[in-house]
Amino acid sequence: MNLRDLGYLVALAEHRHFGRAAEASFVSQPTLSMQIRKLEDELGVELIERHPRHLLLTPAGERAVERARVILREAEQIREDARRSRSPEAGSLRVGLFPTLGPYLLPHVVSSVRQRFPELELLLVEEKTEDVLRLLREGQLDAGILALPVNSDQLHVEPLFEEPFVLAVPQDHPLAASAGPLPVSAIEGENLLLLEDGHCLRHQALEVCHLAGAGERSGFRATSLETLRQMVAAGVGMTLLPLLAVQPPVAVSGSIRLIPFESPAPSRRIAMLWRSSSARREFLPKLAEVFRTLPAGLLDPATAIARQGPA
């Protein structure tokens, strides 16, 4: 038994197909199939239930894959420890972000990261929160930037910043004439446009709606912030937008009015998370500090409101 063969087994579990697993493992299909057979012979148990068009893991195979993932993750930690000992701020670092934050945060921090850590290769992965957490726990990501709360005893949580929400209404909405800031109660009785299930922003917006006595616009759920923005611009309804999503380089829309909320404004808390056992745990706080140090005024709603001009 060796790490290579365990990697083949995990690839089969992920792809459920010998050809695709072989391609992902950069070997020929016969080679991968032969090595899996040898592994089964060595263990004395069948790991794969083979069918003409697909494959299934046997119960023994499922257990073997679970343990193989742990072994491969630990082996990668050994390699990473060695790389980090040679140069703690060099090499590749995989960071996951969720879709309603990544495109709006990264333009403000990537250049700073490159200046501070010129030998670091930052590999960015955009996934929904639950997928970022899964990849983080499996060792496929080194860190994740997510909205709190996140419940996991295995992860270290490093707070970064608090991002306010602003209210986005169509230009002809009665609230558009208000310069704000508005109390949260101003949206009482309104039905807001929200994202589909699976987006953490949806849950955050629903909490605000519950607090304010507002509801959700029935028959509509957006797949992205840009869809929400376009629907507001088209006069379909109002929504909550995180502040970074209305700051440069995002263009100002003349069909949308942005209105800030009175303090304490609804907001979301953003943090960087990593495995407490990570080989990069001494370096990651330094990276978190760069993500925490955003340009002046970026998290001040007044800057976004000023960009759109008078109502």
All structural domains of the chain, each given as residue ranges with its CATH number in brackets, are 3-83 (1.10.10.10), 87-161+269-297 (3.40.190.10), 162-267+302-306 (3.40.190.10)
The least confident of 49-53, 182-186, 265-269 is 49-53
pLDDT (0 to 100) of residue 88: 67
pLDDT at 28 over 70: yes
Nearest to 254 by CA among 131, 168, 134, 191: 168
The least confident of 127-131, 174-178, 204-208, 278-282 is 204-208
pLDDT at 179 over 80: no
pLDDT (0 to 100) of residue 85: 63
pLDDT at 89 over 90: no
> E-strand spans in 70-154?
91-97, 120-126, 143-147
pLDDT at 81 over 90: no
Give pairs for 183-186: CB < 8 Å, separation 24+: 183/261, 183/262, 184/208, 184/211, 184/212, 184/261, 184/262, 184/266, 185/212, 185/213, 186/212
Q: What's the rounded mean pLDDT across residues 133-137?
A: 92
Going by pLDDT thresholds of 50, 70 and 90, the confidence category of residue 311 is low
pLDDT (0 to 100) of residue 209: 76
State pLDDT tens for residues 246-258.
Answer: 999 988 888 999 9
Going by pLDDT thresholds of 50, 70 and 90, the confidence category of residue 307 is confident
Q: What's the rounded mean pLDDT across residues 44-65?
A: 90
Q: What's the rounded mean pLDDT across residues 184-191?
A: 86
Q: What's the rounded mean pLDDT across residues 235-263?
A: 90
Q: For residues 276 and 222, which has the higher predicted lDDT (pLDDT)? A: 276
Going by pLDDT thresholds of 50, 70 and 90, the confidence category of residue 125 is very high
Q: What share of the chain in percent tops pLDDT 90?
A: 52
pLDDT (0 to 100) of residue 198: 63
pLDDT at 163 over 90: yes
Nearest-10 Cα torsion for 96, 163, 224, 305: -140
pLDDT at 124 over 80: yes
- Mean pLDDT rounded to a whole number for the chain: 88
pLDDT at 63 over 90: yes
Q: CA quadruple 125, 135, 195, 172: dihedral positive or negative?
A: negative
Q: CA quadruple 35, 41, 45, 51: dihedral positive or negative?
A: positive
Going by pLDDT thresholds of 50, 70 and 90, the confidence category of residue 84 is low
